[in-house]
Amino acid sequence: MREYTLNMIDGTEIPTFDLGGWRESDFPKTEKGIGSVLRHYRQVDSTNRVARVWASGSGVVSGEGKGIAPHGAVVLADHQTSGRGRQGRTWESSPGQNLLFTVILRATEPLLSDHVARGMLPLATSLAVASTLASYAGEDQVSLKWPNDVLLGGKKCSGILVEASVDEVFLIGIGLNVNESEFSDEVGAMATSLLLHSGRRVERRDVFKTLIDRLNHWIPKAFERGADEVRAAYVQKMAGVGSPITIHTHADSAPGILRGLNPDGGLLVEHNAAQKVYYSGEVSLTHASPD
């Protein structure tokens, strides 16, 4: 297998990785939209990083990695050596057990520069994941934790990392625990997989097919004016609306009551009878644990 050094548009060198690893996949492709172009790697550092390079079209001098990813292209990996999570965290996944992929969205202006769409992308993605999990585990087992977590039986089964790239390109990274059978002590108490939840192994490619179908349903709705359908569906599945939560910023933490979402997808929280809106880059939230 060959290795290449990738040079980004600005000339910075980023670490080499094994570009020889992508292959024609036995995972299904769609006829159009998200998932019609698919690069399936055995191993990468992070599908979001590989997608960023492919989307820029600037990275590779020669070899299998060249070309510019079209809208809806997907980078899928069986294993990540440096899977990235939100807020600088890492994403754990045993080789070949789960879904790890990034969708490249390349829409024309002004769609992606619309701040409502930006705020709604993680929410629309969460709805697609939630609906996929519900088709295996039942609707009542699935809930959403703002902004990007999808819970199965109250434990995190999927994480979503939305990043901006060059030229109004957005990268939607999705990690979904399918057949994971054990987690590290650090995340084990809070995380689950379809296997751990239901006791049954599931074909990854079937889950992938369902999820890509649901993404093709929900992602376009994030770009509809106001994205009302996304917001309403999200609030309906959101865990803990009306209950006490704690909001954490870099500086401190504050208790409040979760009230839902405002029109651009920000989190509405009531503090001492006054409502405040929070955006996903700046805060995280924890739910009060039941007594």
Q: Where does this chain bind ligand BTN (CB under 6 A)?
A: 46-48, 80, 83-86, 89, 91, 100-102, 148-149, 159-161, 173-175
Q: Kindly calculate the radius of gyration of the chain based on its CA atoms and give it in whole angstroms.
A: 19
Please tell me the distance from the alpha carbon of residue 210 to that of residue 129, in angstroms, as a whole number. 9
Beta bridge partners of 144: 150, 238
CB of 225 to ligand BTN, least distance (A): 28
DSSP 197-236: HHS----HHHHHHHHHHHHHHHHHHHTSGGGHHHHHHHHH
| Residue among 27, 34, 47 nearest 212 (CA) | 34
- Helix, strand, coil shares of the chain, percent, nearest 5, are 30, 30, 40
Shortest Cβ 272–ligand BTN spacing (Å):
30
Q: How far is the CB of 107 from ligand BTN (least distance, A)?
A: 20
- 133 CB neighbour count, 10 Å cutoff: 27
Nearest residue (CB) to ligand BTN, 47 versus 192: 47
Helix axes 204-222, 228-237, angle to 10 degrees: 130
Contact 144, 122 (CB under 8 A): no
**Measured from the CB atom, is 97 or 148 closer to ligand BTN?**
148
Position closest to ligand BTN via CB: 159
CB of 30 to ligand BTN, least distance (A): 19
**Nearest approach, Cβ of 109 to ligand BTN (angstroms)?**
26
Min dist CB 158 to ligand BTN, Å, is 8
Distance in Å, CB of 95 to ligand BTN, minimum? 13
Q: Which is nearer to ligand BTN, 188 or 263 (CB)?
A: 188
Cβ proximity to ligand BTN, 41 vs 101, nearer residue: 101
Alpha helices (H) in 65-172, listed in sequence order: 115-137
**Which residue bears the tokens 């040079």?**
7
By C-beta, is 45 or 213 nearer to ligand BTN? 45
Nearer residue to ligand BTN within complex by CB, 48 or 274: 48
- Please, are residues 175 and 162 in contact by the beta-carbon 8 Å criterion? no
Angle at 84 between CA 91 and CA 173, to 5 degrees: 95
Q: Within 10 A of 58 (CB to CB), how many other CB atoms are there?
A: 16
- Residue whose CB is less far from ligand BTN, 152 or 174: 174
